[in-house]
Structure 1
């Protein structure tokens, strides 16, 4: 895929009319407290909290490979947005 194709796909995908939500921004195993019964008792580390497009929480949560398969079990997957954000992170290094 050429960079023009990726750019066009990114513009087409990421400029949709997304609903904005107040999101945690860093949901990951190390920020989830559970009790001895496995019940979630708290979410820690709220410093990345803000209003973001509906796909943002999924994309941010999929950064952690130790639970990549589980994220889609409790969040709506946004595959296109996920792959575009990975690509944009790679080219912005």
Structure 2
């Protein structure tokens, strides 16, 4: 079984990114100028940013999928993949 452990640096960047995404002004700045915003928190600045909206949600497909667990119909793994794919999709205003 493969276990990914986040480094302290990864956790710090994740916390900063999470705070940035939750702040309306910081989120807009991240979308408009991702290289600058990401470099300020110590993250790679060559990333592509896809910002979800009320009308558009990006589905992220994990790079590594455990084919054996998929073939076995592992429901817990499917839930894990779903959480990875949807991330923190949350909207105050949902489309009708």
Tell me the TM-score normalised to structure 1 length: 0.29
Q: Which has the higher contact order (CA 8 A, sep 6+)?
A: 1
Query: Which protein shows a greater Rg?
Result: 2
Q: Which has the higher strand share?
A: 1
